Copies of this chain bind each other. A is one copy, B any other.
Amino acid sequence: MRDVAIVGAGMIPFGELFDQGIKDMVSRAFGATLGSVDKGMRADEIEAAWFSEVQSVDGFPAGLLADACGLTDIPVTRVENACATGNDAIRNALYAVGGGYVDVALVLGADKVRDTASSATFWDWMSTNRDSAWDLPLGLISPASFALHVARYMHEFGATREHLARVAVKNHRNGARNPYAHLRFEVTMEQVLAAPMVVEPFGLLDCVPQSDGAAAVIIAGKDVVDRYTDRPVWVRGVGTGMDRVMHAHKADLSYFAATRKAAQRAFGMAGVGPGDIDVAEVHDCFSGVEMMTYEDLGFCDRGEAPRLLEKEETSIGGRIPVNPSGGLKSKGHPPGATGLAQCTELFEQLRGEAVNQVDGARWALAHNVGGPTAVSAVTILEGPRG
């Protein structure tokens, strides 16, 4: 196997994109990504593509990507792994490039959730993402499913709704400055705590918006990286982890087993540890999930996540800034695009080009957790200044 680097990354602004079809979104993200390659790249230099799309309600996914980007002369595979799809698609593409089968690969993620062309409903879609005999009829769709975990964590470690609110306030502060973010406004602690309750302990401002969006990275094998850039961002580790699907089967709701497994694999492959990470994009689909994930990724000891927030150690300027892009919370969450947008932000961070730049960042981590909290994917990147 050989080293693999990201040589280009780009995205479109996330939001309620009623004026764009998914083909428009996909081709615009592809254009932005090609345009980000320092020394330029023609579309026909790409040898294979992976499409990260979760919901897929408009056309044949792999074919849609090929058609919209003029890539019908290369193989395209759709990967779907719930909200961990983006980073898992990068893992699949990395195997092809690192294994030497392909020199240059596109990984593009997109989802359009605010309007769809078919009559499939939100509940139809949800039925494909959790146990449909037990958890779905119980109402254990995303907010409820994550709430069970966060409520248990709060009970065991004395975290409060104020701690959760600190995540929302921090991420909206970052996202308000990000021109690609869906919700470009700041929120105050008081607003978060006073927002209408969605499901205990999540108020409306603890929850991610539903967003349309697209983002992509182009990866290349070490032998050809020089053709495209002198400032590559190396993909040092990838890892995917699973957990039981039904909540009744999970051993302990106070952590995310899938995240722990994914992180262990990615750190093992990269040969670094949590203490080496300078900046991270973490799956804050609900505020408390980011808090708990600090521990599952090893950024702090068990039970210490609330303290990290109190000391603002995950804010820009802190010890380990998390979600400088605004995170899913403010930037938005089109499931298939989310992991790619995280890596686009980190590509810019590690090259010193980010809107909310973390000074001197060398190592970065992207993290997704999704489905019925049963899958996680982690990607570890090293910048050109390493």
A residues adjacent to B (C-beta < 8 A)? 1, 56-64, 66-67, 71-82, 88, 91-92, 95-96, 98-101, 117-121, 123-124, 127-133, 239-246, 249, 261-262, 265, 371-372, 374-375
11 contacts between A and B (CB under 8 A): A57-B128, A58-B132, A59-B127, A60-B372, A63-B244, A72-B243, A76-B240, A77-B92, A92-B96, A99-B101, A120-B127
CB distance from A358 to the nearest CB of B (A): 29
**Chain B residues, CB < 8 A from A245:** 59-60, 63-64, 66-67
**Chain B residues, CB < 8 A from A261:** 73
Which of B63, B66, B80, B132 is close to A59, meaning CB atoms less than 8 Å apart? B132
**Chain B residues, CB < 8 A from A129:** 59-60
**Chain B residues, CB < 8 A from A124:** 118-120, 124
**Chain B residues, CB < 8 A from A132:** 57-59, 117-118
Asked if A127 meets B242 with Cβ closer than 8 Å, knowing A95-B96, A117-B133, A261-B73, the reply is no
**Chain B residues, CB < 8 A from A95:** 92, 95-96, 99, 101
Most buried by B among A75, A101, A119, A372: A75
Which of B1, B58, B79, B120 is close to A79, meaning CB atoms less than 8 Å apart? B79
B242 touches A73 (CB 8 A): yes
CA–CA, A133 and B117, complex, Å: 8
**Chain B residues, CB < 8 A from A80:** 56, 61-62, 78-80
**Chain B residues, CB < 8 A from A72:** 242-244, 374
B77 touches A88 (CB 8 A): yes
Which of B62, B101, B133 is close to A98, meaning CB atoms less than 8 Å apart? B101
CA–CA, A375 and B71, complex, Å: 12
